[in-house]
Amino acid sequence: MNASRQYTAHQQSSAYDSPWTFGMRLRLQAWEWCWTLFCRWTPKPLNPWRLCWLRLFGAKITGQPFVHSRARIAHPWNLTMRDRACLGDGAHAYTLGPIELGEACTIAQEAYLCSATHDLSVPERPLLTAPIVIKANAFVGLRAIVLPGVTVGEGAIVGAGAVVTRDVAPGSVVGGNPARPLPSPSAASGQPASSS
């Protein structure tokens, strides 16, 4: 857990107690049933239908983002998606806290955006949440993990399998565990960067 981040602590009387009210748990059950019954089997062209269900459950959607039928979204009311944002096949938005996907960003196959952790310094181990923000035109690669409180800057690239524990600067490329800066694709290939 990064102590410098602003976390929201959720009250729990013990490590085995749920931080959610009974009403919230019913809402979560309704969401899981609806996504399974009405969305998980749908082909790609039925994206507007999936977006409709996300909106019904409180997701904040602008424009026409894309959500794959096999994507997983924990609490849709904590999800914000901008126009042309993409949540890919098997990607998991673990939205116990807010997650915002900026315009035209891509969350690739089986990537995991985790907005929650636990305070392991006390016996109750309460749930802690912190927002994740993926800015416009950023790319989060296959099976990468983005941890709570992280912002991935505009146009940044997170390599496949990376574990992102801190903010990623706009336009940068990171990879590894923990993720560290890497040469940009154009620098690595010896090609000049675009001037546009």
| Per-residue pLDDT reduced to its tens digit, 18-74 | 888 899 999 999 999 999 999 999 999 999 999 999 999 999 999 999 999 999 999
- The whole-angstrom separation of Cα 196 and Cα 183 is 19
Q: Which CATH number fits domain 19-181: 1.10.3720.10, 3.30.70.1350, 2.160.10.10, 3.50.50.60?
A: 2.160.10.10
Work out the average pLDDT over 191-195: 47
Enumerate the active-site residues: 118
SS3 78: helix
Which residues is 182 bridged to in the sheet? 173
Asked whether the beta carbons of 134 and 102 are under 8 A apart, the reply is yes
